[in-house]
């Protein structure tokens, strides 16, 4: 889509029926003749009532934040599990919005002893979607059980698990590739390129083996339907021994993105889990007119960037700082639990 205009309104609370105020709505209507827009996207989740009234007022397609993120997820879903999770979230999003889609037909029917075509179609669609949701939830429960058995197997092997977390598009998949040779598809400025957990083995600096798992990226105001649908995926974070929080230092709102991730981890009761922070894409902070190698870049940036405890500066794309990162992971990762050996009394 081509963005032709943006507008912001500051309200104490959103309007119940139109989300934005009447004056702002009239302003957007007035821009239609000069801008020729045919879609309006709201950076928040709209209620079904708000969406219906806005579509009637503007006579264009209305997309809210949840629908936009769901569309991006649907494009990124490659595996069967990913498609099931996205399809479930889409149907859960659509179900309460069906009434608005059939409102024009409902006006045709009604009255004692009659059933309007809109009403019967609406009830049919609701029944079909509820059945589809139930089937998808059953399939996801099987996925969750399979993952649970797999995690139990990993626990018995006593190999620690490191989970990559971070805002979307910070370079988690690139880091996984450079650490393990996983070959995960990556692309610059591509949101949510990883929807399913991908696990690979690495060797730490203290010669311990560990498993690294890449998970779905976080984003501000993540739709609740997605959090629920991706429960089986997000359980990987709960079972991890250490969280590796990847931060993109090159974006202007790096601090806000980092705080968003921390807030989500807190909501998931994971704030107390051992943590290492990898400040990624440091090569983008350097003067492009100079020639930099790993040592000179890290020496220079260490003096420029204040680094907190358990934090390492890296460039996954350049392969810089990886030895320091592995050393920090070895330092923070809890010590291995000795295997319990059983013996029989003679």
Per the document, the length of the chain is: 346
Tokens of 186: 């990556």
pLDDT score of 191: 58
pLDDT score of 102: 47
DSSP conformation class of 218: B
Please report the sign of the dihedral spanned by the C-alpha atoms of residue 193, residue 86, residue 42, residue 118: positive
pLDDT exceeds 70 at position 190: no
Confidence of residue 193 (pLDDT cuts 50, 70, 90): low
Confidence of residue 23 (pLDDT cuts 50, 70, 90): very high
pLDDT tens track for 293-322: 999 999 999 888 888 889 999 999 999 999
**3-class DSSP state for residue 39?**
strand
In this prediction, residues 47-56 reach a mean pLDDT of 92
Q: Residue 148: enclosing H or E segment and its boundaries?
A: helix 117-157
Q: Is residue 92 a contact partner of residue 57, using CB atoms and an 8 Å limit?
A: no
Q: Is residue 67 a contact partner of residue 39, using CB atoms and an 8 Å limit?
A: no
pLDDT score of 192: 55
User: CA-CA distance, 223 to 230, in Å (whole number)?
Assistant: 11
Name the residue with higher pLDDT: 71 or 115. 71
311-313 and 275-280 strand pairing: parallel
209-214 and 198-203 strand pairing: antiparallel
Residue for token digits 């399913």?
A: 196
Q: Is residue 147 a contact partner of residue 228, using CB atoms and an 8 Å limit?
A: no
Packing angle, helices 80-94 and 117-157, rounded to 10: 140
Q: pTM to 2 decimals?
A: 0.74
Domain extents for the chain? 22-70, 159-332
User: CA-CA distance, 94 to 106, in Å (whole number)?
Assistant: 18
Looking at domain 159-332, which CATH architecture does it have? Answer: 3-Layer(aba) Sandwich (3.40)
Q: Is residue 93 a contact partner of residue 81, using CB atoms and an 8 Å limit?
A: no
Distance of CA 166 to the CA centre of its chain: 9
pLDDT tens track for 266-282: 888 888 999 999 999 99
Q: Is residue 252 a contact partner of residue 122, using CB atoms and an 8 Å limit?
A: no
Q: Residue 210: enclosing H or E segment and its boundaries?
A: strand 209-214
Q: Residue 163: enclosing H or E segment and its boundaries?
A: strand 161-166
Phi, psi angles (nearest 5°) of residue 315: -135, 105
Share the mean pLDDT of the chain: 82
pLDDT score of 304: 85
User: CA-CA distance, 328 to 339, in Å (whole number)?
Assistant: 25
User: CA-CA distance, 236 to 161, in Å (whole number)?
Assistant: 9
Phi, psi angles (nearest 5°) of residue 204: -80, 175
User: CA-CA distance, 191 to 217, in Å (whole number)?
Assistant: 8
Q: How is 269-331 classified by DSSP, letter by letter?
A: T-TTS-EEEEEE-GGGGS-TTS---HHHHHHHHHHHS---TTEEE-BTTTTBTHHHHHHHHHH
In this prediction, residues 141-165 reach a mean pLDDT of 77
User: CA-CA distance, 14 to 5, in Å (whole number)?
Assistant: 21
How many other C-beta atoms lie within 10 A of the C-beta of residue 21? 13
């Amino acid at each position: 889509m081509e963005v032709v205009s943006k507008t912001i309104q500051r309200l104490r609370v959103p309007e119940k029926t139109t989300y934005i105020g009447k004056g702002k709505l009239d302003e957007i209507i007035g821009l239609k003749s000069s801008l020729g827009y045919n879609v309006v996207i709201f950076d928040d989740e709209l209620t079904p009532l708000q969406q219906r009234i806005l579509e009637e007022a503007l006579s264009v397609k209305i997309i809210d934040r949840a629908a936009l993120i769901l569309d991006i997820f649907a494009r990124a879903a490659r595996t069967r599990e990913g498609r099931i999770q996205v399809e479930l979230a889409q149907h859960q999003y659509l179900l309460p919005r069906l009434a608005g889609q059939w409102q024009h037909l409902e006006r045709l029917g009604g009255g004692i002893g009659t059933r309007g075509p809109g009403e019967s179609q609406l009830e049919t669609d609701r029944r079909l979607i509820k059945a589809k949701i139930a089937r998808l939830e059953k399939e996801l429960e099987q996925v969750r059980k399979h993952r649970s058995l797999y995690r139990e197997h990993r626990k018995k092997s006593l190999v620690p698990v490191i989970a990559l977390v971070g805002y979307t598009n910070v370079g988690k998949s690139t880091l996984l590739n450079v650490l393990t040779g996983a070959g995960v598809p990556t692309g610059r400025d591509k949101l949510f390129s990883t929807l399913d957990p991908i696990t690979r083995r690495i060797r730490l600096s203290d010669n311990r083996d560990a498993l690294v798992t890449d998970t779905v990226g976080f984003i501000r105001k993540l739709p609740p339907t997605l959090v629920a649908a991706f429960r089986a995926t997000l359980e990987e974070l709960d079972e991890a021994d250490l969280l590796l929080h990847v931060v993109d230092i090159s974006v202007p709102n790096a601090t806000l993105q980092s705080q968003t991730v921390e807030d989500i981890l807190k909501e998931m009761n994971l704030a107390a889990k051992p943590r290492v922070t990898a400040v990624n894409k440091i090569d983008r902070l350097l003067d492009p007119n100079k020639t930099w190698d790993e040592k000179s870049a890290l020496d220079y940036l260490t003096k420029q960037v204040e680094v907190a405890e358990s934090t390492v500066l890296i460039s996954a794309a350049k392969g810089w700082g990886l030895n320091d990162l592995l050393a920090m992971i070895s330092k923070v990762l809890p010590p291995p639990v000795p295997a319990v050996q059983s013996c029989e009394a003679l």
